[in-house]
Structures are given as structure tokens and as C-alpha cells.
């Protein structure tokens, strides 16, 4: 429904919402903080997957000193996570002075979540049998991240829609999401939204609720509510800073849900084939 509305009213909605940020400092804080959060969101998912794999490898190959090894290696990966998230400060030096408060807001949220993620993994995955239950979700998540990332990238350059902020002052060069596919002029990368894709990466965490024993209880409800809240805030943020149109930000979650379903089927089919091969070999 939102996508249909955007197909007719994309430009009008973007013009209306973009005015809000100029007149409201709180909206500006949300908009730029969410944008920076989108820049570093994938590192949190990667840290989560690495934390699981670290525990599994330690329990499998190092029967002694497990607690020390896990704590040490997890600490090293958290340091790498911190360095990666702060690369705008010490490597690229591309942070504008007026945007530091937004950057550090997003950075603080991500670092706290990163620490919480590692703590949960260390406490929950405390033997090899428990670790094995997480391997299928890990492969599903990796499949999901790869397919979704490639799908968004391919669609961006295929549709070639110019961003709202790049339009002329009279908006005469505005294009609907489908109008620039076969054009070689005024190309852009607005459709679909990549930052929405970064937030949609969090959808892969749903596969881990069952082995964490968080399925069908209050943890699942809280995480689901937080996910859709972040989807809304990121979509709102990308529109008000003139980076995207409504159809751009709505399309990405639709693609993510489809890719989530496809990734689940792919990994389950691979498991089924491997199981049949093992039965035949026996």
C-alpha cells in the first residue's frame, strides 16, 4: 500500500518531509544518527556471526583453557569491531565537524549492542552441543546477507534513479522509480535504499531466536518491535535528508522479506541433500 502511494506521490512526500528537518533539531538528530547507524550496522551482524563461530571452533578444537581462549579471542574481535566502526575518525577523516554528535550517537548505540551480542553468545554457547544448534542459522544469515546485498546493488544500478537531493531546483528532472531503467542520462542510485538494506540485515537474527530459546516469548516480541521501529526511523531519516523517496525505502524491506524466505529454502535444501548423501554412504 505504501509503495502504491509513493508511486503517485513520491515527490510531494519528499518535499513535505524534507522541510521538517530544517525546522526541528530533534528530527535532524534522528535523521543523521540513523544514517550513520546504517553506515556501520553490518559490522554488528558480522561481529555476531564471528562470535558464534569463535565459540564453536574453540569448543571443538581446544578442550582445555576454553574460557580463557573464548574471552581472549572475543575481546580481540571486539577491538577490531570498534576500530572498524570508528574508521571515519582515524582512517578516512571524512567526518564533518557539525555532524559529530550524530556520529557518536550512532557509534555509541552500535558499540553497546556489540558488547551485548558478545556477552549473550559467551553465556549461551557454553558447550559444543549448543554451538552446533547455531550453525544452520549462521549459514542462513550469511546466505541472506550476500543475496540481499547483491540484489540491492544490482537493482540500484539497473534502475538508475536520481536522488531527490540531486534534482534541479524546479524538480523538472524528477523520475518515478521505473522511469530511468533504459535511460543513459541523469543516472543515480536512489532505488532501492541501501541504508534500509543495512537495517534489514537485522532480520537475519530471527533464525537465532529458536536456539537462543527466545522464540514465542517476550524477547521475540521486543526484538520484533525494535526491528520495525528501526525500519520506520531509517526510512523516515533517508527521506527527510533528501537521500531517498518513499518507494525507495519501502521496496528494500519487501526485497529483504523475499530474500529471507529464499535463503531459508536454499539452506534447508542443502541440509536435506547432505543428509540423504550421508544415509546413502552409511
Closest CA to 244 of 145, 167, 149, 163: 163
Q: How far apart are CA 49 and CA 207, in angstroms?
A: 12
pLDDT higher than 90, residue 25? no
Compute CA 28 distance to the chain's CA centroid, rounded to the nearest angstrom.
21
Greater model confidence, 252 or 22: 252
Q: Are 145 and 204 in contact (CB under 8 A)?
A: yes
pLDDT higher than 90, residue 266? yes
Is residue 3 within a helix (H) or strand (E), and if so which, with residue range? helix 2-23
pLDDT higher than 60, residue 60? yes
Residue range 197-248, pLDDT digits in tens = 999 999 999 999 988 888 777 888 899 999 999 999 999 999 999 999 999 9
Q: Are 168 and 224 in contact (CB under 8 A)?
A: no
Q: What are the grid coordinates assigned to 4, written together? A: 502504491
Q: What is the mean pLDDT of the chain?
A: 88
pLDDT higher than 60, residue 13? yes
Give CA angle at 235 (5, 167), nearest 5°: 75
Neighbours of 83 (CB within 10 A): 12
pLDDT higher than 80, residue 61? no
pLDDT higher than 70, residue 123? yes
Compute CA 213 distance to the chain's CA centroid, rounded to the nearest angstrom.
23
**How many folded domains does the chain comprise?**
1
Given this model, what pLDDT does residue 100 score? Answer: 84
Percentage above 70 pLDDT, the chain: 95
Closest CA to 136 of 204, 85, 61, 227: 204
Given this model, what pLDDT does residue 147 score? Answer: 97
pTM of the complete model: 0.91
pLDDT higher than 70, residue 66? no
pLDDT higher than 70, residue 103? yes
Given this model, what pLDDT does residue 277 score? Answer: 55
Under 8 Å CB-to-CB from 80, ≥6 apart: which residues? none
Question: Could you list the residue range(s) of the whole structural domain that residue 174 is in?
Answer: 2-281
DSSP secondary structure letter of residue 206:
G
Given this model, what pLDDT does residue 211 score? Answer: 87
Give me the mean pLDDT over the 46-66 stretch: 81
pLDDT higher than 90, residue 45? yes
Given this model, what pLDDT does residue 276 score? Answer: 56
Given this model, what pLDDT does residue 190 score? Answer: 94
3-class DSSP state for residue 61?
helix
Q: Is 183 left (phi over 0), alpha (psi -120 to 50) or beta?
A: beta
pLDDT higher than 60, residue 282? no
Under 8 Å CB-to-CB from 217, ≥6 apart: which residues? none
pLDDT higher than 80, residue 280? no
Given this model, what pLDDT does residue 15 score? Answer: 92
The dihedral built from the CA positions of residue 156, 159, 163 and 168, taken in this order, carries a sign that is positive
Amino acid at each position: 500500500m505504501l509503495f502504491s502511494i509513493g508511486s503517485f506521490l513520491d515527490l510531494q512526500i519528499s518535499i513535505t518531509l524534507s522541510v521538517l528537518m530544517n525546522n526541528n533539531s530533534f528530527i535532524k538528530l534522528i535523521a543523521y544518527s540513523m544514517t550513520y547507524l546504517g553506515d556501520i550496522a553490518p559490522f554488528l551482524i558480522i561481529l555476531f556471526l564471528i562470535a558464534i563461530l569463535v565459540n564453536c571452533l574453540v569448543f571443538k578444537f581446544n578442550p582445555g583453557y576454553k574460557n580463557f581462549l573464548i574471552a581472549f579471542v572475543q575481546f580481540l574481535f571486539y577491538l577490531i569491531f570498534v576500530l572498524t566502526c570508528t574508521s571515519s575518525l582515524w582512517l578516512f577523516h571524512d567526518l564533518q565537524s557539525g555532524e559529530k554528535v550524530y556520529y557518536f550517537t550512532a557509534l555509541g548505540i552500535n558499540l553497546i549492542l556489540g558488547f551485548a551480542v558478545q556477552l549473550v553468545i559467551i553465556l549461551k554457547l557454553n558447550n559444543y552441543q549448543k554451538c552446533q544448534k547455531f550453525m544452520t542459522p549462521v549459514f542462513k544469515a550469511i546466505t541472506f546477507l550476500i543475496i540481499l546485498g547483491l540484489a540491492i546493488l544490482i537493482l540500484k544500478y539497473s534502475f538508475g534513479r536520481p536522488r531527490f537531493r540531486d534534482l534541479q531546483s524546479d524538480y523538472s528532472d524528477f523520475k518515478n522509480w521505473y522511469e530511468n531503467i533504459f535511460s543513459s542520462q541523469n543516472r543515480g542510485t536512489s532505488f532501492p535504499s541501501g541504508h534500509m538494506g543495512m537495517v534489514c540485515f537485522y532480520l537475519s537474527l530471527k533464525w537465532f531466536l529458536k536456539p537462543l530459546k527466545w522464540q514465542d516469548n517476550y524477547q521475540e516480541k521486543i526484538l520484533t518491535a525494535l526491528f520495525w521501529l528501526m525500519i520506520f526511523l531509517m526510512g523516515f531519516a533517508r527521506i527527510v535528508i533528501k537521500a531517498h523517496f518513499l518507494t525507495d525505502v519501502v521496496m528494500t524491506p519487501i526485497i529483504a522479506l523475499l530474500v529471507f524466505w529464499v535463503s531459508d529454502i536454499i539452506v534447508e535444501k542443502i541440509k536435506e541433500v547432505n543428509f540423504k548423501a550421508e544415509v546413502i554412504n552409511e
